[in-house]
Amino acid sequence: MKEFLKKIPKSDLHVHLDGSVRVGTLAELAKKQKLKLPSYTVDGLNKLLFKDQYESLVDYLQCFGSTIPIMQTPENLERISYEFAQDNINEGVCYVEVRFAPQFHVGKNMDFEKTLQSVCKGMERAQKEYNNNAKVKSGELPPFYFGIIVCAMRAFGRGFSQYFDTFLDAHVYSEPKMIHALASYELAKACVHTRDKLGIPIVGFDLAGAEAGNPAEDHKPAYQFAHKHFLHATVHAGEAYGPESIFQAITDLYADRVGHGYYLFADDKVTDPEIKNPKAYVRQLAQYIADRRITIEVCLTSNLQTNPSIGDISKHQFAKMLEAKLSTTLCTDNRTVSKTSVTKEITLAMKNFNLKGDALKDLLVYGFKRSFFPGTYAEKRKYVRGVIDRYELVEKEYNKRAAAKKKG
């Protein structure tokens, strides 16, 4: 099974760059820049910073206070992106949409263009190295492709980044909600400008951060601009708040996909007094998502870590998503912070949700079909067909060997 999972083509549509920095690289660059860490060894960081279990989402997010500061020079950002792409390629992930919040990195060393260009350079370098492989050139293995998703923040305060501090200084008389919305709008414009000027594969716009008290609808102007300029939309929703957050993501922000969506079926978390029948509301919402094939980016390990109340993985809402025939795809969220990989997430799903055969294949193919692929639709169809062919070939070989082993 290990060999089978290694060989099949995989994707990751929800993975944060700043949560996926190599631990050794973090220690090296932090020491070089004299940045404070709880440890400067891989073992020490894996014990004190990147834990197996976290107390809460707040505890989980503490990790980013250590990774983001080392990502604020073009050289470091390019290196981290290159290593990130390598780590994916090495486990057989041939398509990835890396996401990050440029406004955390923009400052005296980098503007928007340089920030996005640095990530693209690192990813492209790894892509070119791998795609020059003889097996890729011959068509035996699918080539590696990537897209970049930019994350706006639902809210921010002082100390988040040099950029956000400057932004707050420039809008001292405005309400916080208006400032947060304006920052998102500015980001959407910067991304479209950079994509069109430099040809960087910026494929989607995302909204991250605390859901409670920071409704998605506040950021409608940014998403409207992104929508009108052909940027796909995904939104972190239903990770730490109820179904209404998901409703806003798909109605106000035009979301093609939803990040996490864990509380989609939680009718007990519906808070709007105007919703008289929460059960019917949730049922209609789930049906709407299913009908339109709005894809849920499922992050099993991350959800268990940020929401310990889930308890055992068998209680994860992924089971209900499968039962409702929703379009879902398995993602890592943060490779380093969650100590996971795409292979580990697939293994978890197979062991705990009886995923096998056509159900497993369909789930993994969704990751490619529902991607924001940076090429044309014709190119995407050709690529997905190649991925399916490769999957079926590996599956056939695996079944043949399994049958032979059983006979022997």
Question: What are the phi and psi torsion angles at 148 (to 5°)?
Answer: -115, 130
pLDDT at 125 over 70: yes
pLDDT at 184 over 90: yes
In this prediction, residues 187-214 reach a mean pLDDT of 96
Taken in order 112, 376, 325, 95, the sign of the CA dihedral is negative
Model pLDDT for residues 233-267, shown as the tens digit of each residue: 999 999 988 999 999 999 999 999 999 999 999 99
* Burial environment of residue 398 by CB neighbours within 10 A (0 to 12, 13 to 18, 19 or more): middle
Model pLDDT for residues 322-377, shown as the tens digit of each residue: 999 999 999 999 999 999 999 999 999 999 998 999 999 999 999 999 999 999 99
pLDDT at 216 over 80: yes
In this prediction, residues 175-193 reach a mean pLDDT of 97
pLDDT of residue 358: 92
Model pLDDT for residues 43-86, shown as the tens digit of each residue: 999 999 999 999 888 889 889 999 999 999 999 999 999 999 99
Per-residue burial over 313-348, b if 16 or more Cβ lie within 10 Å, else e, is beebbbeebbeeebbbbbbbbbbbbbbbbbbbbbbb
User: In the chain, what are the domain boundaries?
Assistant: 2-407
pLDDT of residue 408: 67
Distance from CA of residue 172 to its chain's centroid? Answer: 33
pLDDT of residue 56: 85
pLDDT at 210 over 90: no
With contact defined as beta carbons under 8 Å apart, do 149 and 372 qualify?
yes
- Where are the strands (E) in 34-77, listed by range? none
Q: What DSSP state is assigned to residue 36? A: -
pLDDT of residue 219: 98
Q: What DSSP state is assigned to residue 146? A: E
Q: Helix, strand or coil for residue 20?
A: coil
Distance from CA of residue 192 to its chain's centroid? Answer: 20
pLDDT of residue 197: 97
Q: Helix, strand or coil for residue 233?
A: strand
Average pLDDT across the chain, whole number? 95
For the record, the structure tokens of 303 come out as: 């959800």
Q: Helix, strand or coil for residue 186?
A: helix
Neighbours of 306 (CB within 10 A): 24
pLDDT of residue 406: 78
Pairing of strands 232-237, 295-298: unpaired
**CATH classification of 2-407 is 3.40.50.300, yes or no?**
no
Residue 402 pLDDT class (50, 70, 90 cuts): confident
Lowest-pLDDT choice from 52-56, 204-208, 218-222, 229-233: 52-56
Q: How far is residue 205's CA from residue 228's CA, in Å, rounded to a whole number?
A: 12
Q: How far is residue 109's CA from residue 91's CA, in Å, rounded to a whole number?
A: 33
Q: Helix, strand or coil for residue 93?
A: strand
pLDDT at 95 over 70: yes
pLDDT of residue 296: 97
pLDDT of residue 77: 97
Pairing of strands 328-330, 145-153: unpaired
pLDDT of residue 271: 92
Q: What DSSP state is assigned to residue 312? A: S
With contact defined as beta carbons under 8 Å apart, do 102 and 18 qualify?
no
For the record, the structure tokens of 184 come out as: 């998102």
Distance from CA of residue 396 to its chain's centroid? Answer: 31
Model pLDDT for residues 274-283, shown as the tens digit of each residue: 999 999 999 9
Q: Helix, strand or coil for residue 275?
A: coil
Q: How far is residue 359's CA from residue 220's CA, in Å, rounded to a whole number?
A: 36
